[in-house]
Amino acid sequence: MAPKHRDGDVVATVPGQWITHFHTASAYAAFVGALIVGLALHYHKIVQNEHFGYPIEWFPSVSATIGDRYPERSVFQVFIAICSGPRFLLVFLFYCLSNRPGSSLPKFVAGVGVFRTLTCGGWTYVTSTDDHDWHDIFMISYLVATLPWTIGCLALSPPNPRAIKLRKYLASAFFGTLVPLVYFFIQHKVHRVPGAYTIYAFFEWSLVLLDVAFDAVTALDFSSFEIVVKDVKGLSRGDNQRISDAVLEKEKDKPIGQVFDHRFSWAALLDAVADVYLGLSFWTILTGLGVAVWYFPLWYMGISGFEVAVMSTVSPFLLGIGPLRKFITRYSALTLGTTVVGMGAYLFSTPVGRLGAISFSVWMSCLAWSAIWCSERGNATRLEARIMAWTIGLIASSVAKFAFQTNNPFWPIMHEANGGWNKTGILLFVLAIARVSRRQVGNGDVSQGVEKPKGSSALAGLGLAGLLFGLHSLLSDSSTMIMWVWEGYPVRGPLAVPHGAWTILTMGIGLLFGLFYPNLTRSWTAFGIGSVGAALLTLFSNWTGYYGGLTLTFYMMALTPAMIANAVRYPPGRTFFFGFFMYNIMVLFHVWVVAYAFVPGGPLVREHTDWVMATTMLMIGCGVFNALQDNAPKRQKSMRPPPNPAARKQRSYYIYILLALQLVSMAVAYLRFPSYDYTPYHPESKSLNAGIWTIHFSLDNDMWSSEKRMESLIRESELDIIGLLESDQQRIIMGNRDSTQYLAEQLGMYVDAGPGPNKHTWGCALLSKFPIMNSTHHLLPSPHGELAPAIAATILAYDELIDVYVFHSGQEEDPEDRQLQMEYLTALMGSSSRPSILLSYLVTKPKQGNYNGWVSPRSGMRDIDPSDWDRWCEYILYKGMRRAGYARISRSTITDTELQVGKFVVGQPEGTDDIISEDQVPEDLRFPALFKGQGVRGHRYHVFDEPRYFA
Q: DSSP string spanning 793-844?
A: EEEEETTEEEEEEEEE---TT-HHHHHHHHHHHHHHHHT--S-EEEEEE---
Contact criterion met (CB below 8 Å) for 593 and 587: no
How does 495-529 read in b/e, with b if 16+ C-beta sit within 10 Å?
Answer: bbbbbbbbbbbbbbbbbbbbbbbbbebbbeebbee
**Section 538-544 average pLDDT:** 95
Q: Give SS3 for 788.
A: strand
Buried b / exposed e along 409-447 (16+ C-beta atoms within 10 A): bbbbbbbeebebbbeebbebbeebbebbbeeebbbbebe
Q: Which pLDDT band holds residue 248 (cuts at 50, 70, 90)?
A: very low
Specify the range with the lowest mean pLDDT, choosing from 176-190, 252-266, 632-646, 689-703: 632-646
pLDDT beyond 80 at 623: yes
| CA separation for the pair 721, 773 (Å, rounded) | 14
Highest mean pLDDT among 32-41, 230-239, 500-509: 500-509
Q: Could you give the angle at which helices 132-156 and 72-98 cross, rounded to 10 degrees?
A: 30
Q: Are 475 and 534 in contact (CB under 8 A)?
A: no
SS3 letters across 340-389: HHHHCHHHCCCHHHHHHHHHHHHHHHHHHHHHHHHHCCCCHHHHHHHHHH
pLDDT (0 to 100) of residue 232: 54
pLDDT of residue 9: 54
Give 60-101 pLDDT, tens digit per residue. 888 788 777 778 778 878 888 888 777 787 788 777 777 776
* Crossing angle for the helix pair 16-41 and 72-98, to the nearest 10 degrees: 160
Parallel, antiparallel or unpaired: strands 899-905 and 882-889: antiparallel
Catalytic residues: 808
Alpha carbon distance 626, 456 (integer Å): 7
Position 298 scores a pLDDT of 86
Q: What is the pLDDT of residue 599?
A: 82
The CA-based angle 472-474-478, given to 5 degrees, is 105
pTM, entire model: 0.83
Instruction: Produce one character per residue of 456-493: b if its CB has 16 or more CB atoms within 10 Å, e if not.
Output: ebbbbbbbbbbbbbbbbbbbbbbbbbbbbbbbbbeeeb
For 739-759, b/e burial (b = at least 16 CB within 10 A) is bbbbbbbbbebbbbbbbbbbb
DSSP code for 232 = -
Cα 423 to Cα 409: distance, rounded to the nearest angstrom: 10
Domain over 266-672 is classified CATH 1.20.1250: yes
Instruction: Find the mean pLDDT for residues 608-627.
Output: 95
Question: What DSSP string describes 297-345?
Answer: HHHHTS--SGGGGGGGGGGGGGGGSHHHHHHHHHTHHHHHHTTHHHHTG
Most confident residue range from 280-294, 588-602, 644-658: 280-294
168 near 251, Cβ under 8 Å?
A: no
pLDDT per position as a tens digit, 812-839: 888 999 999 999 999 999 999 999 999 9
pLDDT at 99: 76
As a whole number, mean pLDDT of residues 201-207 equals: 85
Q: Which of the listed CATH numbers 3.60.10.10, 3.40.1080.10, 3.40.50.10680, 3.40.190.10 matches domain 686-950?
A: 3.60.10.10
Q: So what's the pLDDT on residue 705?
A: 96
Task: Give the model confidence (pLDDT) of 387-412 as tens digits.
Answer: 999 999 999 999 999 999 999 999 99
Q: Report, as an integer, the average pLDDT of 92-121.
A: 79
Checking if the pLDDT of 559 tops 80, the result is yes
Report the run of H or E that residue 552 belongs to, with start and end: helix 542-567
Residue 278, SS3 per DSSP: helix
Of the ranges 138-152, 622-636, 796-810, which one carries the lowest mean pLDDT score? 622-636
Distance, CA of 242 to CA of 99 (rounded, Å): 8
pLDDT at 310 over 80: yes
Q: What are phi and psi of 702, to 5 degrees?
A: -110, 15
Least confident of 1-5, 41-45, 219-223, 558-562: 1-5
For 601, the 3-state DSSP assignment is coil
Span 903-916, pLDDT tens digits: 999 999 998 899 99
Q: How would residue 761 be classed by pLDDT, with cut points 50, 70 and 90?
A: very high
Of the pLDDT bands very low, low, confident and very high (cuts 50, 70, 90), residue 538 is very high
DSSP letter string, 167-197: HHHHHHHHHHHHHHHHHHHHHHHTS--TTHH
pLDDT at res. 5: 44
Name the pLDDT band for 600 (thresholds 50, 70, 90).
confident
Q: What is the pLDDT of residue 446?
A: 52
Question: If you average pLDDT over residues 12-20, what whole number do you get?
Answer: 67
Residues paired with residue 806 on neighbouring β-strands, in sequence order? 791, 839
DSSP string, 831-874: T--S-EEEEEE----TTSTTHHHHSSTTTT-EES-TT----SSE
pLDDT at 263: 62
Kindly report the average pLDDT of the chain as a whole number.
Answer: 86
Mean pLDDT, range 94-121, rounded to an integer: 79
Map residue 154 onto helix, strand or coil.
helix
Q: Which of 470-484, 631-645, 749-763 has the lowest average pLDDT?
A: 631-645
Given the DSSP bridges, would you call strands 899-905 and 764-768 parallel, antiparallel or unpaired? unpaired
